[in-house]
Structure 1
Amino acid sequence: MTVDRMILAFAGFFILLSLALGWEQSPIFHNTNWHWFTAFVGFNLFQSAFTGFCPLGKILQAFGAKTA
């Protein structure tokens, strides 16, 4: 799996998890402040589309993940 696909998988997982933790009708509801984490992940995806910089991508490359 390449870095690009890992980033998409991580982002999708954390968006779904943070929405479930922040949604009041969810069985794993914790606190509505989890929506701020959802916004943070979304903002990082948005800015990386324009700048090409992704903090998770740099971390994965440091751990030896292959690039496309």
Structure 2
Amino acid sequence: MQHAAAPICDVSDSVYSQEITDAFSRGYTLNITNQCPITNARLYHSIIRKDLAKMMTMFTIQVMGITPDTHKV
């Protein structure tokens, strides 16, 4: 499977730890999140169900290469 060029989000001014910043960058590169700049990602807030569902779907598509069956009831 061939992917388009990975998006880039500048995190040079990140106030988060290196581990959190790296995790965000990886997720952004894989299109699991589209929140940029990093401060928009609300990394210390609780995640809500719709955001988690979107991230899980994007992970399934981008990393695993599986497209969800939207025809199932």
TM-score by length of 2: 0.32
TM-score by length of 1: 0.34
- Greater per-residue helix proportion: 1
Asked which structure has the greater RCO (Cα within 8 Å, sep 6+), the reply is: 1
